[in-house]
Structure 1
Amino acid sequence: MMDIHQILKQLPHRFPFLLVDRVLEIEKGVRIKALKNVTINEPFFVGHFPHHPVMPGVLMLEAMAQAAALLAFDTLGSAPDDKTVYYFAGIDGARFKRPVEPGDQLIMDVTLDRMKSGVFKFTGKCSVDGALVCEAQLMCTMRSIA
């Protein structure tokens, strides 16, 4: 549905912080399904943890937020310009069910629950091989930086 080249046109994130490799499905104003290939080459594995590499939970939340941003931009009909930033406004009910390790393919499934006055509320779930690894309610907003 959206390859890395299209994602790079939408999201301002770059290595090492771009956490969406591909969009598998997108339903405008409803939901997005995206993936992140987790490899041993990720820079966070050097220190988290050298003896047992595990993807930090906060990065799973960030991956869901990046997928949510792609859904929000698709819903609005365009990505923000260089003078606008898409921020977290809140995270509720974050739960981590099992570690994500090198070699896993993280699937983010994010649903748009509400959009009002520039504030977006989402429900996000991450899975690996069909098993839930992380879930949370995300609130995001766009703000002008100029």
Structure 2
Amino acid sequence: MGFTEIKSWLRHRHPMLYLDRVLDYEPGVRLVSRLSVSAQMDAIAGHFPERAIFPASHLSQAFAQSGIILFQVSTTRLAEDELTLVGAMNSRFFRIVTPGDTVTITVSVDRLLGATFFFSGRAVVDSTTVAAFRANLVRRKTADMGHQWW
């Protein structure tokens, strides 16, 4: 799945769309994606000027985006009036990610209970695990989210 197709599965757009490619997936089982970290990314600009580090919060977002795609390919695409929210996320970071790194993210289905999706995975650079995650997503109607201020 290339970048153009990824955009059809996610509502995120620049500068918050992190996945470059989905390398492989099996609905209801797992998804493998890729994130190429560049010094030109907005997230790198101020983090930190003297030593560029890809923010862990943005790596968490890339993991969530992988989960959102796996959730949809395992069930159905989001309707126009639906969105996904991260219900909870536990993460552990083992090594910093810097410009030039290619991060491979593998997410696996742990459980699917109606509109709630539990998943876990790892982020790897050059066969070294840089982070591990466990999270859940919930599918909600936008109308159920209350008044839209924007």
> Does the Cα contact within 8 Å between 2:85 and 2:137 map onto a contact in 1?
yes
What code does the residue aligned with 2:32 have?
A: K
Q: 1:23 corresponds to which residue? A: 22
Identity of aligned residues (%): 30
Runs of 4+ in 1 over 2 A off after TM superposition: none
Unpaired segments of 5 or more residues in structure 2? 144-150
Aligned twin of 1:131: 128
Larger radius of gyration: 2
Return the TM-score normalized by structure 1.
Answer: 0.95
State which of 96, 105, 108 in structure 2 corresponds to 1:108.
105
Give aligned pairs, total. Answer: 143
* Deviation (angstroms), 1:101: 0.3
Note the alpha carbon deviations across 1:14-52, whole angstroms, 9 max, x for none. 100001110001011000000011100111211110100
**Aligned-CA RMSD value:** 0.8
Select 2:80's aligned residue among 79, 82, 85: 82
User: In structure 1, how many angstroms separate the alpha carbons of the residues matched to 2:4 and 2:132?
Assistant: 27
In structure 1, stretches of 5+ residues that fail to align are none
